[in-house]
Amino acid sequence: MTERRHSRPIARAGGAAALAVLIAGTATAADRRSPDAEDDAAPTAAALGPGNAEAGRTVFNTCRACHGLSPGDHGIGPSLHALFGRRVGTARGYGLYSNALTRADFVWTAERLDAWLTRPNSFLPGNRMNFAGLRDAEDRADLIAFLKTASE
């Protein structure tokens, strides 16, 4: 098992912040961020290389309140099963997508998910995800690594 690369505790969404998690996004993070965004210089998860899927399992606890990993396992947010390569806003059987999400036109990749997870409301204004984001690039890399294995 690979050790965690830092000892900082994982930030967790609480209460209402964990209740409205919807996955969405449009352009790249660079296209969506405002010029004065405080995290413009933040490293991307991709810059860190492959994440630690075991550590990502723990980070996923933040997402679990709203998302499942099995086909059709929808909660407040859509199932994340088969997320990578799926067109945004198209999880079969999930009907609570925002207009911003249904109008978006892209497929989920690790890079887009990283940008989304950094700051969802900046990445796709008007989405319904009530989650501030994961500021730590290592947590995002770990979560993405976990989702790549757990959502297939």
User: Structural domains in the chain?
Assistant: 43-150 (1.10.760.10)
Alpha carbons 120 and 129: distance in angstroms, whole number: 7
Question: In this predicted structure, what is the pLDDT of residue 100?
Answer: 93
Alpha carbons 112 and 132: distance in angstroms, whole number: 16
Angle between helices 110-118 and 137-150 (to 10 degrees): 130
Question: In this predicted structure, what is the pLDDT of residue 57?
Answer: 97
Q: How confident is the model at residue 43 (pLDDT cuts 50, 70, 90)?
A: confident
Tokens 């008007």 — which residue?
Answer: 126
Tokens 């690790």 — which residue?
Answer: 110
Alpha carbons 77 and 64: distance in angstroms, whole number: 10
A 10 A CB-CB count for 110 gives 19
Output the six-digit token pair for 85. Answer: 């390569």
Question: In this predicted structure, what is the pLDDT of residue 66?
Answer: 95
Whole-prediction pTM value?
0.71
Residue 140 has pLDDT above 50, yes or no: yes
A 10 A CB-CB count for 77 gives 25
A 10 A CB-CB count for 57 gives 16
